[in-house]
Structure 1
Amino acid sequence: MEVEKGELLKSKIIDKNIRDSLNFGWINFAVLFCGIIIASVGLNMDSVTVIIGAMLISPIMNPIIGMGYGFGIRDQKLIKKAFLIFLAQVAIGLVAATAYFFFSPIKEAGDQLISRTQPAIWDVLVAFFGGVAGIIGSAKKEPANIMPGVAIATALIPPLCTVGYGLSQMDWTIVFGAGYLFLINSFFIALSTTIGTLIFNFRRIRDNPMPAKNQIFIVLAAIIITVPSLISASKLVKQSYNEAQLTSFINSELPDTYVVNKTITDKNIKLAIIGDHVSKSEVKSLDKKLDDYQLGQYKLKFQQLSQGNYLSVNAFKKYVDQNQTSNSKDDDNEVKKNKDLPKLKERLEKKYPNEIDKVTVRQLADTDNKKAAVIIKLTEQGKNDKEGIKQQTKKIADKLDITASVYFTDEEK
């Protein structure tokens, strides 16, 4: 009897909390509008902190939980009210986000925007268990300490804003990708809420089970919505596996060659390299070795950026662009891998102030993190002692326990 009272109390708390969160008041819509603008700014500026802040203040999850709860207790009026609020919020969100991105001077899609266009099965899991946490939180008298975390985890606002970005740029790939992610999040939050509602109300509804047609509808909808995410996940897993195998292939089969850039397409693996010229016979031999790394379905294509120990100016710029981005975090991470790399550069510049015009040191992909590519641009005075500078560079690198591959860039080459 005590269990039933406890269960009834939980049901009453859930019912009160969910119904109280559903209203057409202008305050909720105003807060949502502000949250959408804040999230759009965060996406536009690639600021995770700003995006999280927007998710914390957004009320868009309330009607989704309301729909799931209404479906669980089979309250048609509650479902209709929650659905109408949800539609109004989506409309406001799309208008606000589209307007912001239309007038924003920054039109390029950054990483935070692009990451919301490729949903996978993991998004389904996050949405589902986020909804479970949401309904559990609603069973508490003070759910405030749980719901903010659920709002961040399920991330409803960012994909909605990304749809707005796609609409502002007329990019339908982004619109459909982000729209699908928003659909996944919304549906599985509602589904897990329905399941949680049935659990909390088990004793009350076991004699009045959900109609079979409703159960069939839910199962079919879940399958239809989940299948594309499974396909996307399989592609991501395959891509990640291929990249790992390619890295292993490069480290084992091309130990003395620096790969500036690597790209895997449907049929080819394209490698932009600095190092000795790779002959056609060597390419054929390397092609055969791809089978050992489960990459036999691809063909190798090399782009040679160097001629002997020289790099063209354009190749040098491409090298720097590929390995030194505007994001300082990349440089910080690189320094952490081998703190002696900056020392090598500093010592070369100090030893050859008149002979070296510019020097760039970059760590090579290697298990022990001790290999580095050193790109040197010599002055006219330095060109007279190119071989000596090369040998001294290797000696300095050896003292720092670095295996250096030395290359030169020359205006005339």
Structure 2
Amino acid sequence: MQQISTSTLSKNVQADLNLNWPTQAILFCAIIIACIGLNLNSAPVVIGAMLISPLMAPIVGIGFALGNSNSKLLLKATRLMITQASIGILGATTYFLISPINTASDQLLARTEPTIWDVLIALAGGFAGVISLAKKGGGGNVVPGVAIATALMPPLCTVGYGISHLNLSFTLGAGYLFLINAFFIALATAAGTIFFRIRSGQHLNVSVRQEILILIIAIIIIIPSSISGYSIVRKSYVDAQLSAFIEKELPNQYIAKQSIDHQHIKLAVIGRRLTQSQISKLKSSLKDYHLKGYKLTITQLTKGNYITAQQFQDYMKQQNNGNSLQSDNDNQMDK
């Protein structure tokens, strides 16, 4: 059975805290690989980049230094993390400036809206990592697994994409995700280090002031992600209620399009034409599906009980023009 040792943890953590050119060259290569994967929307390529990235080392080093109140090691690890993050952002920005593919892929978009779940993943990953590093005989594939689960590389690449395209929402969103991952991995590492020190009978020298400061910072960082997480849960719930409403109240209608915008539900339907009284009844039944306060607008694409091909084409053309106009407006706002 492998034993947990604080000396093993210290040895493994400090072994990778070296500011040398081979490590930084590997990081730069990993950043380029990750950028290509994000650009081409290829998850396997992104995962490969995370496996070879050395970004975990300084973050774990910061947590270990906090758990030992070692200011010299904390400064060394922080300096290394800032250097590596700067190299990553610079490399990503350069890549996306010269890349012929300018469209934001799903892989890029996924890194722009952090939630409370990212906090939980970083904490769990941090704990797994510090336990792995404290095991005599090595931690096997746990640390690379933590690097993949917490996804430190993609947010930095997305920051570079945002900078290269002057898109502030991408830059801030991805930067916040990287901050969440780095801070809570370090926090989990610090907590694990303190636990192992207590377990081995070592005297703790972490002041109450330091603990309170870290707690305050953690709460400040968590707040925006909690709000975002609540919004996602709320949206998922409303979508489920709307699906139930459509299935029960409009069983004979084909829903050509549906959207929810600021408590305004818009449905475009094809089927037997609904009377005004039927529409009024549908609006009043929203409260039965916990959608009280929502406004319902139904656009009927049929004349009588049928729809011609021309009518449907005209409607789709109108929607496409509207979406194009909205996209142009969004691009102007980003610029």
Question: What TM-score does the superposition give when structure 1 sets the normalisation length?
Answer: 0.73
Amino acid at match of 2:246: I
> 38, 41, 52: which is aligned to 2:36?
41
Stretches of structure 2 that go unaligned for 5 or more consecutive residues are: 320-335
Structure 1 residues 44 and 15: CA distance shift in structure 2, 3 A: same
Alignment deviations for residues 20-68 of structure 1 (CA, whole Å, 9 cap, x no partner): 1110111111111111111111111111111111111111011000000
Alignment correspondent of 1:194: 190
Distance 2:295 2:194 in 1: 55
Stretches of structure 1 that go unaligned for 5 or more consecutive residues are: 1-5, 323-413
Most deviating of 243-252 and 70-79: 70-79
Tell me the SS of whatever aligns to 2:281.
Answer: helix
Alignment correspondent of 2:226: 230
Tell me the SS of whatever aligns to 1:143.
Answer: coil
Structure 1 residues 158 and 289: CA distance shift in structure 2, 3 A: same
Most deviating of 52-61 and 102-111: 102-111
C-alpha contact (below 8 Å) 2:41/2:105 kept by paired residues: yes
- How far off its partner does 1:310 sit? 2.6
C-alpha contact (below 8 Å) 2:197/2:204 kept by paired residues: no
Query: Larger Rg: 1 or 2?
Result: 1
Distance 1:12 1:131 in 2: 18
- How far off its partner does 1:169 sit? 1.1
C-alpha contact (below 8 Å) 2:68/2:204 kept by paired residues: no
Alignment deviations for residues 210-265 of structure 1 (CA, whole Å, 9 cap, x no partner): 10110100110110001111111111000000000000000000001011221111
When you count helix as a share of all residues, which structure comes out higher? 2
Tell me the SS of whatever aligns to 2:125.
Answer: helix
Alignment correspondent of 1:131: 126
Amino acid at match of 2:164: S
Structure 1 residues 197 and 312: CA distance shift in structure 2, 3 A: same
- How far off its partner does 1:267 sit? 2.7
- 2:248 paired with 1:252: yes
Amino acid at match of 1:268: H
* % identity of equivalent residues: 46
Alignment correspondent of 1:309: 306
Amino acid at match of 1:289: S
Distance 1:57 1:318 in 2: 50
> 19, 26, 31: which is aligned to 1:24?
19
- How far off its partner does 1:209 sit? 3.9
Matched ranges for 1:265-284 at <5 A: 265-284=261-280
Alignment correspondent of 1:71: 66
> 217, 221, 231: which is aligned to 1:221?
217
Alignment correspondent of 2:151: 155
Distance 1:314 1:55 in 2: 50
Tell me the SS of whatever aligns to 1:100.
Answer: helix
Tell me the SS of whatever aligns to 2:267.
Answer: strand
When you count strand as a share of all residues, which structure comes out higher? 1
Alignment correspondent of 1:3: none
Structure 1 residues 81 and 205: CA distance shift in structure 2, 3 A: farther
Alignment deviations for residues 146-196 of structure 1 (CA, whole Å, 9 cap, x no partner): 111111111111111111111111111111111111110000000000000
Matched ranges for 1:367-382 at <5 A: none
- How far off its partner does 1:205 sit? 6.7
Amino acid at match of 2:306: N
Alignment correspondent of 2:94: 99
Distance 2:311 2:52 in 1: 48
Distance 1:314 1:130 in 2: 54
Structure 1 residues 294 and 152: CA distance shift in structure 2, 3 A: same
> 3, 8, 13: which is aligned to 1:13?
8
- How far off its partner does 1:311 sit? 3.7
Question: What TM-score does the superposition give when structure 2 sets the normalisation length?
Answer: 0.89
Distance 1:182 1:165 in 2: 14
Matched ranges for 1:332-347 at <5 A: none
Distance 1:64 1:205 in 2: 26
Between the two proteins, the alignment pairs up a number of residues equal to 314
- How far off its partner does 1:317 sit? 9.1
C-alpha contact (below 8 Å) 2:12/2:133 kept by paired residues: yes
Tell me the SS of whatever aligns to 1:142.
Answer: coil
C-alpha contact (below 8 Å) 2:270/2:300 kept by paired residues: yes
- How far off its partner does 1:144 sit? 3.5
Determine which structure has greater relative contact order: mean sequence separation of CA pairs < 8 Å that are 6+ residues apart, divided by chain length. 2
C-alpha contact (below 8 Å) 2:68/2:205 kept by paired residues: no
- How far off its partner does 1:319 sit? 7.0
Structure 1 residues 255 and 33: CA distance shift in structure 2, 3 A: same
Alignment correspondent of 2:53: 58
Structure 1 residues 304 and 104: CA distance shift in structure 2, 3 A: farther
C-alpha contact (below 8 Å) 2:69/2:205 kept by paired residues: no
Alignment correspondent of 1:80: 75
